[in-house]
């Protein structure tokens, strides 16, 4: 589902942006634990650094879900580090004639790479993945401050999110 | 994870309610397509009736996810029909030290069975399942009118839900 990009030139142009940036958006790989993935996630939710063992174990679990769970990252070709990430989980339902729904989760852009449209590019790729998997909609939860960002990505506000914390 | 209940008396008492009702809350079974499952879902989202083939195919796909996807139903022992249903999907994340989050989805109570606390019983069982699977939180999306119901189930309002419809 994700077209492999073999060169930086292809990556910059192949994404259809033509903005001269050298971010390569691609599925998460096992090597990414050494490319700042843990640091990137810490900007989303403070947490102890991810150990390589834990990362590899979770990577394997998610790989077993195939295209129903996709984590995308944006790699900065100039540094070899990850500048953004995001995930989409495809839920298989019984309602809507056994419909599918994409859940966008854990979208984050490195503090130093913000303001360049990278988050929107990642979200749009996640949405396209969900569409390609036959989802009838994609949903996500966000803080009120992020409404405008997701509206720019094509989302409209719906309902409220409730949570129960253990 | 779901204790098998062998008699109606056990079911009514075993759920800890002691309200004399004979709803047996249990995981969805293949036979449930003949017990009004499709009619129940149609009260949640208007849709063409679920065919037995589509139901069986989706049931098999979800069974492959094991305890990471649980659909519970409440069977009315007096009629043999389903009176409520709800699902919880366990998402495996990288954030929060490879944490897990439970997503409660598609909770519905038959129109004729409302007002008896059955929805709350189903939701609490879904929450307990998520807790047992090691989730650090359970989340759901609902219309503003359902805030009070989910508050009664232990949820607090968080964030906003955005959606993109294909």
Q: What is the CA radius of gyration of chain A?
A: 16
Q: Residue B20: what pLDDT?
A: 56
Higher pLDDT, B22 or A10: B22
Please list the residues that pair with B165 across neighbouring strands. Answer: A137
Residues of B in contact with A71 (CB under 8 A): 94
Sorted by sequence, the CB contacts under 8 Å of residue A89 that are 6+ apart come out as A68, A69, A102, A103, A105, B89, B91
pLDDT band at A2 (very low <50, low <70, confident <90, very high): very low
Sign of the CA dihedral with B51 first, then A93, B163, and B155 last? positive
A104-137 pLDDT, tens digit each = 999 999 999 999 999 999 999 999 999 999 999 9
Q: Which two tokens stand for residue B158?
A: 């968080």
φ/ψ (deg, to 5) at A121:
-60, -40
pLDDT tens digits along A55-102: 999 999 999 999 999 999 999 999 999 999 999 999 999 999 999 999
Confidence class for position A22, pLDDT limits 50, 70, 90: confident
Q: Which residues of B touch A162 (CB under 8 A)?
A: 139-142, 147, 150-151, 155-158
For testing the chain B interface, which of A103, A162, A163 should be mutated: the one with the most B CBs within 10 Å?
A: A162
Rounded to the nearest angstrom, the minimum Cα separation between A13 and chain B is: 26
pTM for the structure as a whole: 0.88
Nearest beta carbon to residue B155 from set A71, A137, A162: A162
- Closest residue to A137, CB basis, from B62, B147, B165: B165
- Encode pLDDT of A29-51 as tens digits: 999 999 999 999 999 988 888 99
pLDDT of residue B22: 87
The dihedral sign for the CA sequence B20, B22, B26, B28? negative
Output DSSP code: residue A37: H
Summarize the confidence of residues A145-159 as an average pLDDT: 97
Q: Which residues of chain B have pLDDT under 50?
A: 1-19
How far is CA B90 from each of CA A115, B63, B69, B133, B137, rounded to the nearest angstrom? Answer: 33, 13, 6, 8, 10
Residue owning tokens 């029909």: B81
DSSP state of A109: E
For residue B111, the distance in angstroms to the closest alpha carbon of chain A comes to 17
Please report where in the chains the tokens 């990137």 appear, as a residue.
Answer: A40
* pLDDT tops 50 at residue A7: no
3-state secondary structure at position A75: strand
Bigger pLDDT: A16 vs A130 = A130
- Closest chain B CA to residue A37: B94
Please report residues of B whose CB lies closer than 8 A to that of A54.
97-98
**Average pLDDT rounded to a whole number, residues A150-159:** 97
* Contact across the interface for A144 and B162, Cβ inside 8 Å: no
Residue-wise pLDDT tens digits, B43-90? 998 888 899 999 999 999 999 999 999 999 999 999 999 999 999 999
Show Cβ contacts of residue A31 under 8 Å, excluding neighbours closer than 6 positions: none
Q: What is the pLDDT of residue A15?
A: 47
Most A-contacting residue of B162, B163, B165, B166 (CB-CB within 10 A), to test interface: B162
Is the pLDDT at A16 greater than 50? The verdict is: no
Cβ atoms of B100 and B65 within 8 Å: the answer is no
Give the torsion through C-alpha atoms of A155, B102, B71, A57, to 10 deg: 110
Hey, is the C-beta of A103 within 8 angstroms of any chain B C-beta? yes
């Amino acid at each position: 589902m994700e077209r492999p990009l073999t060169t930086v030139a292809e990556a910059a142009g192949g994404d259809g942006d033509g903005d001269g940036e050298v971010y390569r958006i691609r599925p998460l790989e096992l090597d990414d634990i050494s490319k700042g993935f843990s640091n990137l996630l810490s900007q989303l939710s403070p947490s102890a650094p991810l150990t390589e063992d834990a990362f590899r174990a979770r990577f394997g679990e998610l790989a077993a879900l195939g295209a129903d769970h996709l984590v995308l990252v944006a790699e900065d070709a100039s540094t070899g580090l990850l500048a953004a990430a995001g995930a989409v989980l495809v839920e298989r339902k019984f309602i809507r004639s056994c419909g599918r729904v994409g859940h966008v989760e854990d979208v984050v852009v490195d503090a130093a790479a913000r303001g360049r449209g990278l988050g929107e590019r990642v979200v749009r790729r996640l949405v396209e993945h969900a569409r390609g998997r036959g989802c009838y909609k994609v949903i996500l939860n966000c803080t009120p401050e992020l409404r405008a960002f997701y509206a720019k990505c094509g989302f409209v506000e719906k309902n409220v999110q409730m949570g129960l914390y253990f």
